[in-house]
Amino acid sequence: MSLLIKDEAPEKLIDENGKRVDGRGLKDLRPIKMEVGIVPNAAGSAYIEWGGNKIYAAVYGPREVHPHHMARPDRGILRVFYRMATFSVHERKRAAPGRREKEISMVMENSLSPVLFLELYPDSALELFVEIIAADGGTRCASITVAALALADAGIPMRSLVTAVAGGKADGKLILDCSGDEDKAGEADLPVAITWFNNEISLLQFDGIMSLEEFEETIESVKESLEKIHEMQQEALKRKYIDIRNDIKENESEHQHEGGDQEI
């Protein structure tokens, strides 16, 4: 009798028809949903569902830096707190932030800082809190993408958005947007983030084995996917202000109607 471990990756990640475990083609993205302005008491916020990932990001500040020795007199600092909820993975994780969470917090700071005009906020801190409610592979890329939306929603001056996605390799095939199973059992993982104001890479990490040709092909495929995700980010921001405009028009229409009903 064999026991099935819930988070154990399947033996075969790609079938004979080139379909992945979740039914996607090799270069298909998982379903992505984005929304901004969802945490009322934050300066700016955003939420993303990316495959099985569910992630909130909230921005606070600019505000005083604690501890004070971290403050910089000529510019502000960005502080990122990436955290995974204890129930976000199949096997309950410890509540205290682990080494991986601290590493991804630093990676996010380095990826997002180039687009921010931090010189406008001397002696101040922008604090960005990212909470992973459900994790299913690629959380650092999804977190960078939603964090950029939260910063934009907060009205922080930015040179551009930042967008991230991971390429990879599984069962000898090059793939895009690795799922949790592919992240665990795949042969390579290549997270990439881009800053759009200069089309430069602000994150490039690599784990696994690829030939140089495979690496270059994956980078090209990643660039195409980043453009699609960037369009989704822009649409998410536009939707918020379209909704606000529609609410204003609706309120104006109601007031005009009420005024028309009054007797003179």
In a domain, 224, yes or no: yes
User: How far is it, in rounded angstroms, from Cα 158 to Cα 258?
Assistant: 42
pLDDT value of position 249: 65
Distances (CA, A) of 49 to 58, 75, 134, 151, 237: 15, 33, 9, 18, 15
In a domain, 1, yes or no: no
pLDDT beyond 70 at 33: yes
User: How far is it, in rounded angstroms, from Cα 136 to Cα 134?
Assistant: 7
Distances (CA, A) of 71 to 58, 76, 98: 21, 7, 25
Domain membership of residue 75 as a residue range: 32-261
pLDDT value of position 171: 92
pLDDT beyond 70 at 258: no
pLDDT beyond 80 at 246: no
pLDDT beyond 90 at 115: yes
- CATH code where residue 42 lies: 3.30.230.70
Q: Give the sign of the dihedral formed by CA 128, CA 228, CA 201, CA 75.
A: negative
pLDDT value of position 157: 96
* CB contact at 8 A, 118 and 77: yes
- Nearest CA to 52 among 94, 21, 92? 21
In a domain, 7, yes or no: no
The pTM (predicted TM-score) of the whole model is 0.87
pLDDT beyond 50 at 5: no
In a domain, 5, yes or no: no
* CB contact at 8 A, 159 and 197: yes
- The string of pLDDT tens digits covering residues 36-70 is 999 999 999 999 999 999 999 999 999 999 888 99
Helix pair angle (139-153, 212-261), 10° resolution: 40
In a domain, 27, yes or no: no
Domain total in the chain: 1
In a domain, 176, yes or no: yes
In a domain, 13, yes or no: no
How many residues in the chain? 264
In a domain, 160, yes or no: yes
pLDDT beyond 60 at 9: no
- Span 148-177, average pLDDT: 96
Confidence of residue 240 (pLDDT cuts 50, 70, 90): confident
Nearest 5°: the CA angle 220, 140, 71 is: 115
pLDDT-wise least confident of 153-162, 206-215, 250-259: 250-259
Q: 122 — phi, psi (to 5°)?
A: -60, 145
Q: Which residue has the higher pLDDT, 30 or 90?
A: 30
pLDDT beyond 90 at 90: no
- Nearest CA to 222 among 179, 171, 163, 182? 163
Confidence of residue 256 (pLDDT cuts 50, 70, 90): low
pLDDT value of position 247: 66
Confidence of residue 93 (pLDDT cuts 50, 70, 90): low
* CB contact at 8 A, 9 and 185: yes
Confidence of residue 263 (pLDDT cuts 50, 70, 90): very low
Confidence of residue 241 (pLDDT cuts 50, 70, 90): confident
As given in the structure block, the two tokens for residue 29 are 């993205």
